[in-house]
A and B are shown apart, each in its own frame.
Chain A
């Protein structure tokens, strides 16, 4: 199957700083990628849809100015958590699908801890 890679796998940052998470489709092009957030013992919550070459579409309740998404190429989407606070600590996961297919491929996730 296709491979989606996230970097870093875990990051610790100080409150008030910004953190960038990368999501790459390694062996296919993805015009659309999705970003999820997952708190302990909870399900994945869709945050936004990342569209190559255009603005991201955010789900209701997700602050677009806090979670900046950039999808500048067909293989890379980035999520920047700006002015991070401890409540932003979570597991962030991206996914992408191959054109013509119906399966979604997920990255390994990024554990963000804000101290």
Chain B
């Protein structure tokens, strides 16, 4: 299971774009990259997942360079409600489900 490294914390202001980069140097060929968001006293919530290049959904974009050794979660125009912990995880595509090992995550604080 590939280990991930993220900044421990980040600060931003409402309306700004936030980019959180995750390093996963030992990512395997079968590994997907998935980002989760967690609010206090709640279970993690899926944000976005990708394998390579760029993925975009209604809440975020995920940029993955060709070597896949890192990835960047981009949150456009954050609001106070985006204050949360964001986890980057890598796991094998197993046709069903894979065991997810959480790193420390990035604690994002959005200020007025």
Which of A's residues lie within 8 Å of B, judged by CB?
1, 4, 6, 30-32, 34, 36, 43-46, 49, 91, 93, 95-109, 111
5 A-B residue pairs with Cβ-Cβ distance under 8 Å, sorted by A, are: A34-B99, A91-B41, A97-B98, A106-B44, A111-B41
| Residue B42 at the chain A interface, CB threshold 8 Å | yes
Residues of chain B from 50 to 107 with CB closer than 8 A to chain A in the complex: 87, 91, 93-105
**CB atoms of A43 and B34 under 8 A apart:** no
CA distance A95 to B89 in the complex (A): 14
| Residue B46 at the chain A interface, CB threshold 8 Å | yes
User: In which size bucket is the chain B interface?
Assistant: 20 to 34
Main DSSP-derived SS at the A contact region: strand
Chain B proximity of A60: nearest CB distance (Å): 12
Which of B's residues lie within 8 Å of A, judged by CB?
32, 34, 36, 41-46, 49, 87, 91, 93-105
Chain B proximity of A49: nearest CB distance (Å): 6
CA distance A100 to B96 in the complex (A): 4
CA distance A44 to B99 in the complex (A): 13
CA distance A19 to B23 in the complex (A): 39
**CB atoms of B102 and A43 under 8 A apart:** yes
CA distance A102 to B42 in the complex (A): 21
Residue of A1, A6, A102, A105 touching B98 (CB-CB under 8 A): A102
Chain A proximity of B78: nearest CB distance (Å): 22
